[in-house]
């Protein structure tokens, strides 16, 4: 190969693959050195260098210059294979470094093929993969479709780079807002939190640092243009834009919108919020299959017990009654607990024996006995609640089996089959991280099916 041809080849690979020229020269030198050892044997001090300016190849053995054109066919073939391997390794490293910097960002590509349920995406210089668990259940793609995805992970696998993409990650929606809303990129509007049930609904909390800029208005855009683009990218997924507030009371109210909230009672010690709503707002606050209150609990990081005013009154009375039932309390001590806000056994457990002993002049034995009683009684109540919920679920299943439809479309239920009991079940951000909820009946089937429909502007339909 002529020197000028070698320089052109290196320059072409550098521009096409993005590999540094020095790495290419070193790869060619290594390949030629291996070929030299095959041609002239492993003995002697061999060296091969390429002039970076002229492209001339110089080979020396023990200070004596050798002619690289006399390698022969087999050594030349070996040199070719080594060059290809080195270039592929360099290309892999370049792609890995490039996409490692793109983790937690969006990339655009086209659907290339499908492999065992996974979507293979052509990203240009390489391919990405969307595993089945990272796909939205109601999205369908065909080969050649344009797709935008979120880069979750980049890793080397043999001679290839595996780029894991996602369409279900909550940050996919966050990055779409960053693209569509310039105020977020300028840090005037800040995304405080985002939770998502892919394919169904997303709740995003936003806050503006400039009093002149409305956070929700900036995200919605003029006549809903910005939010509409995001909803279209998500194939019609509902998006609730929530105004963030430092006051947890107001933030929870905003997150449960569009339901009207009568009151929010916060227990900061146990991180529980009792949300009280009018009877006609219960279904709206709970959402379809509990979706609205479930996403609100995750967004606000509060365990939320949502109930009607009558249910709240009954729960308060039951909790206070349990405090009065504590057998070892001195006279008048229950009233002191209630006045101090310790209106439930759970609140007493949270405070602990040391606090009760110090603040209410009890002996260590009395305080320890009180806490032990509260712990055991709370476990009994939790078991009773679990049994009641299991029974309610069984009754609801029976009602569903017994229901049938007439030719006119009317729904009938077989006589004697009870329906689901009235009330609302508490919803927590994560069941293993929160204490047991107070006794509350299950959600009625009709109310559970009702939900708040949110349009592209974030308001009720």
- Residue 133 confidence (pLDDT) above 70: yes
Residues 200 and 296 placed together within one structural domain of the fold: no
Do 124 and 79 sit in the same domain of this protein?
no
Q: Do residues 146 and 216 both lie within one domain?
A: no
In the block, residue with structure tokens 């995304």: 191
**What CATH number should be reported for the domain holding residue 138?**
2.40.50.140
Residues 250-269, mean pLDDT to the nearest whole number: 90
Lowest mean pLDDT among 64-68, 239-243, 342-346, 431-435: 431-435
**Res. 84 pLDDT band, cuts 50 70 90:** confident
Handedness of CA 337, 339, 344, 347 (dihedral sign): negative
Last residue of a domain, one of 167, 190, 215: 167
Q: What is the DSSP string of 242-304?
A: EE--SSHHHHHHHHTTTS--SEEEEETTTTEEEEEE-GGGHHHHH-GGGHHHHHHHHHHT-EE
Q: In whole angstroms, what is the distance from residue 419 CA to residue 441 CA?
A: 13
Rounded CA-CA distance 150/169 in Å is 7
Omega prior to 378 cis, within 30 of 0: no
Determine the pLDDT at residue 82: 76
Model confidence at 158, pLDDT cuts 50, 70, 90, reads: confident
Strand, coil or helix: 421:
coil
Contact in structure between 59 and 67 (CB atoms under 8 Å):
yes
Same domain? For 96 and 118 the reply is no
In this structure, the strands spanning 272-277 and 263-267 are antiparallel
Pair type for strands 160-166 and 127-130: parallel
Q: What is the mean pLDDT of residues 244-269?
A: 91
pLDDT of residue 103: 94
Q: What is the pLDDT of residues 295-322, one digit of tens each?
A: 999 999 999 988 888 888 888 888 888 8
460 within some domain: yes
Do 93 and 111 fall into the same domain? no
Range of the domain at 227: 169-244
**For residues 335-339, average pLDDT:** 85
Q: Using the CB atoms, write b or e for 65-100: b if 16+ within 10 Å.
A: ebebeebeeebbebbeebbeebbeebbbebbbeebe
- Report yes or no on 384 lying in a domain: yes
Residues 225 and 85 in one domain: no
Residues 162 and 176 in one domain: no
Q: Tell me, yes or no, whether 261 lies in a domain.
A: yes
Whether the predicted pLDDT of 426 surpasses 80: no
pLDDT of residue 399: 67
Task: Write down which residue in 189, 214, 244 finishes a domain.
Answer: 244
One domain, residues 314 and 360: yes
Which comes out higher in pLDDT, residue 155 or 65? 155
* Residue 123, in any domain of the structure: yes
pLDDT over 90 for what percent of the chain? 38
Q: What is the mean pLDDT of residues 197-209?
A: 95
Q: Please, which pLDDT band fits residue 456 given cuts at 50, 70 and 90?
A: very low
SS3 200: coil
Residues 82 and 112 in one domain: no
In a domain, 201, yes or no: yes
pLDDT higher than threshold 60 for residue 385: yes
88, 68 Cβ separation under 8 angstroms? no
> Has residue 131 got a pLDDT over 90?
yes
What is the average pLDDT across 21-28? 79
Question: Does residue 176 or residue 63 have the better pLDDT?
Answer: 176
Whether 289 and 438 share a structural domain: yes
> Does 406 reside within a domain?
no
Cα 221 from Cα 310, distance rounded (Å): 41
Residue 56 makes CB contacts below 8 A (sequence gap 6+) with: 3, 50
Evaluate whether residue 412 is within a structural domain: no
Domain count, the chain: 4
Q: Which residue has the higher pLDDT, 35 or 434?
A: 35
Predicted local distance difference test score (pLDDT) of residue 87: 79
d(CA 404, CA 102): 53
Tell me how far apart the alpha carbons of residues 333 and 359 are, in angstroms, rounded to a whole number: 11
Q: Please, what is the average pLDDT of the chain? A: 80
Most confident among 19-23, 423-427, 449-453 (mean pLDDT): 19-23
Sheet with 238-243, edge to edge strand ranges = 189-197, 201-208, 238-243
Q: What are the CA-CA distances from residue 121 to residues 98, 150, 452 (Å)?
A: 17, 12, 35
Q: Is 198 found in the same domain as 92?
A: no
pLDDT over threshold 70, residue 358: yes
The closest of 202, 97, 106 to 456, measured between CA atoms, is 202
Same domain, 161 and 272: no
The residue behind tokens 């105020």 is 183
Q: Quick one: pLDDT at residue 21? A: 79
Residue 84 parent element (H or E): helix 73-100
CATH at 318: 3.30.300.20
pLDDT band at 421 (very low <50, low <70, confident <90, very high): very low
Residue 143 lies in a domain: yes
Residue 400 in tokens: 């569903």
């Amino acid at each position: 190969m002529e020197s000028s041809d070698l320089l052109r080849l290196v320059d072409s690979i550098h521009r096409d693959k993005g590999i540094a020229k020095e790495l290419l020269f070193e790869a060619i030198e290594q390949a030629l050195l291996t070929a030299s050892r095959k041609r002239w044997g492993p003995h002697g001090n061999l060296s091969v260098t390429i002039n970076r300016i002229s492209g001339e190849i110089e080979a020396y053995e023990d200070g004596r210059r050798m002619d690289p054109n006399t390698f022969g066919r087999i050594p030349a073939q070996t040199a070719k294979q080594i060059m290809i391997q080195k270039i592929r390794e360099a290309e892999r490293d370049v792609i890995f470094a490039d996409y490692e910097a793109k983790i937690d960002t969006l990339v655009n590509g086209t659907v290339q093929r499908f492999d065992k349920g996974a979507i293979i995406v052509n990203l240009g210089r390489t391919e990405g993969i969307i595993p089945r668990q990272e796909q939205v259940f109601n999205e369908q793609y065909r080969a050649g479709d344009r797709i935008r995805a979120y880069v979750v992970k980049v890793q080397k696998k043999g001679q290839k780079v595996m780029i894991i993409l996602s369409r279900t990650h909550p940050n996919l929606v966050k990055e779409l807002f960053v693209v569509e809303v310039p105020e977020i990129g300028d840090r005037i509007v800040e995304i405080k939190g985002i939770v998502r049930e892919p394919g169904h609904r997303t709740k995003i909390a936003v806050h503006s640092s400039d009093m002149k800029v409305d956070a929700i208005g900036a995200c919605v855009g003029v006549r809903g243009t910005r939010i509409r683009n995001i909803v279209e990218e998500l194939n019609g997924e509902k998006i609730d834009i929530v105004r963030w507030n430092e006051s947890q009371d107001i933030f929870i109210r905003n997150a449960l919108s569009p339901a009207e909230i009568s009151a929010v009672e916060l227990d900061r010690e146990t991180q529980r919020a009792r949300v009280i709503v009018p009877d006609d707002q219960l279904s709206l606050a709970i959402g379809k299959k509990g979706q609205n209150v479930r996403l609100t609990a995750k967004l606000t990081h509060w365990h939320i017990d949502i109930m009607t005013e009558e249910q709240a009154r009954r729960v308060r009375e039951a909790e206070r009654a349990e405090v009065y039932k504590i057998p070892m309390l001195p006279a008048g001590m229950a009233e002191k607990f209630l006045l101090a806000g310790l209106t439930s056994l759970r609140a007493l457990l949270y405070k602990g024996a040391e606090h009760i002993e110090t603040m209410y002049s009890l002996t260590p034995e009395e305080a320890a006995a009180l806490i032990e009683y509260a712990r055991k009684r709370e476990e009994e109540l939790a078991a009773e609640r679990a049994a009641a919920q299991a029974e309610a679920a069984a009754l609801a299943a029976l009602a569903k089996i017994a229901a049938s439809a007439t030719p006119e479309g009317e729904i009938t239920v077989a006589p004697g089959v009870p329906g689901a009991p009235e009330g609302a079940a508490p919803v927590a951000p994560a069941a293993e991280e929160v204490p047991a909820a107070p006794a509350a009946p299950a959600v009625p089937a009709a109310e559970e099916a009702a939900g708040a429909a949110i349009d592209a502007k974030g308001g009720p339909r």
